[in-house]
Amino acid sequence: MLKEQIIADLTAAMKARDELTLSTLRMLKAEIMKYEVSGADKVVTDEIVIDLVKKGIKQRREAAEGFEKGGNLTAKDKELAEITILEKYMPQQMGEDQVKAIVQEVVTEMNATTADFGKVMGAAMGKLKGRADGNVVSKVVKEVLT
């Protein structure tokens, strides 16, 4: 399970005195624990951990952009390094060609037109959950529908 892998990697980072990996994985573990205690029947599955990792990556990308605009390149580099650490826990991302094939399949199934962007996007994201970036899917859907 992904949660156990993260805890094992956290322990390894502690032993190796890898401060960046250690702090990044501690933050991720804290998010997992926060999720677990947020409700009575909260069981952490790999899918939930992947969602938490995606959220962390998104936050760090936004922070890196902010640091870049502010001229703080050291902090930007730290955020990008943390993204690299978190990406290890994401499923293999699909290439644009693979995404295009699935989007075309969805469009065909729905007999979609240009006006059905939202419907196609929702169905495609459901099929591609965690395996493709939303920006890539959006771009491909726009291409296929036009």
3-state secondary structure the chain: CHHHHHHHHHHHHHHHCCHHHHHHHHHHHHHHHHHHHCCCCCCCCHHHHHHHHHHHHHHHHHHHHHHHHHCCHHHHHHHHHHHHHHHCCCCCCCCHHHHHHHHHHHHHHHCCCHHHHHHHHHHHHHHCCCCCCHHHHHHHHHHHHC
- To the question of domain 2-87 being in CATH 1.10.1510.10, the answer is yes
Mean pLDDT, consecutive 10-residue stretches, the chain (146 aa), reads 94 96 96 85 84 92 95 95 94 86 88 84 84 85 86
Residue 133's pLDDT is: 79
Domain map (residue ranges) of the chain: 2-87, 96-145
Q: CB-hemisphere CA count at 13 Å for 54?
A: 15
| pLDDT computed for residue 40 by the predictor | 63
d(CA 56, CA 127): 22
Taking domain 96-145, whether its CATH number is 1.10.10.410 is answered by yes
Contact 33, 6 (CB under 8 A): no
Domains 2-87 and 96-145 in one fold: no
Query: In angstroms, rounded to a whole number, what is the distance separating the alpha carbons of residues 114 and 80?
Result: 36
